[in-house]
Amino acid sequence: MQNIKTVVMASRPSFLVLSFSVVIMAASIASFQGFSWSWWLFVVTVLSAVLAHAAVNLLNEFQDNQSGLDFMTNKTPFSGGSGALQLNPQAAQSVWNSFKVIVMALIVLGLVFVYLKGWQILPIGILGLAVIALYTSKITKSPLICLISPGLAFGPLMVVGSFFVLTGEMSFLVLTLSMVPFFLVNNLLLLNQVPDLQADKKVGRHNILMKFGVVKGMYIFSVFVVLALATFLASIYYFELPHTVFLGLLGFLLAVPMILVVLKHYDNLEKLMPALGMNVIINISIPALIALGLWLA
């Protein structure tokens, strides 16, 4: 029973809602464009997205426990790992086995999607599995790939992939709007790397903060927020989206105070904490608000 609790903790369940929010946005775009989709397929799509998210979290926890990283991090509610395996080291094999079971389930679900909708989903699934498998061991050692791979996974791969599973089609609108979570989720991981910077260095990671320094990293963070907002507004204008979609701007209200805190207090973890929280809220709320705006239309 204790091992099951550890596995659940290691999957970081409180963050899995991000996957749900992203799939909701994809479904709303499909509905707005006149596609009909079945609720059972939507539920399976959400399940696949959440499992993929849980898989990368479990592997990250397992490998960071092996490397000793999670013993060195300053844990916050948003970074530094869940601490599950540090509390119950005997559960490491259970976490590893759970990861393998989830990956096998994702492969089966992927093959079902290929059968139902077509081979076009296959490259998306393969690239998604590659990000899951390689993120901790390989991707975190390459500054540029580490910077953009989280957004790639939750943006174009998850949003476009979900849209295709629901509709069997591709859409320029869904690709364009998927760039909003692309920039935002990149920032989610980028800011969370600040408290872990010294610990990450000790285990051989090499991210954008190490390459250019934290100050320049925070300017990149700020630019990504602006690019997310610009992409959102450009999508409304170019595709002539209804005014209800401006609901998404409510999610950006925290962006200005977040950026001010990030640029001023990047070297003070205690004062940086509100920005870490605002970053999570922005990532979850904006796709959901975009979805609400499209459905209201």
Q: What is the pLDDT of residues 117-133, one digit of tens each?
A: 999 999 999 999 999 99
Distance spanning both ends of the chain, measured CA to CA:
47
| Run of H or E including 86 | helix 84-87
Write out the DSSP string of 176-245: HHTHHHHHHHHHHHHHHTTTTHHHHHHTT---HHHHH-HHHHHHHHHHHHHHHHHHHHHHHHHTT--GGG
Whether the predicted pLDDT of 78 surpasses 90: no
Average confidence (pLDDT) over 265-290: 96
d(CA 236, CA 230): 10
* Number of domains observed in the structure of the chain: 1
d(CA 36, CA 272): 44
d(CA 218, CA 209): 8
How is the chain split among helix, strand and coil, in percent rounded to 5?
80, 0, 20
Rounded alpha-carbon distances, angstroms, from residue 64 to 41, 61, 93, 220:
34, 5, 14, 26
Residue 116 has a pLDDT of 94
pLDDT-based confidence at residue 18 (cuts at 50, 70, 90): very high
The boundaries of the domain holding residue 230 are 2-296
DSSP conformational letter for 297? -
pTM of the model: 0.95
Residue 73 has a pLDDT of 83
Q: Which of 187-191, 200-204, 238-242, 278-282 has the lowest mean pLDDT?
A: 200-204
pLDDT 10s digits, 79-125: 888 888 998 999 999 999 999 999 999 999 999 999 999 999 999 99
Average confidence (pLDDT) over 173-189: 98
pLDDT 10s digits, 247-261: 999 999 999 999 999
Q: Which of 155, 161, 192 is nearest to 75 (CA)?
A: 192
Residue 125: phi, psi to the nearest 5? -65, -40
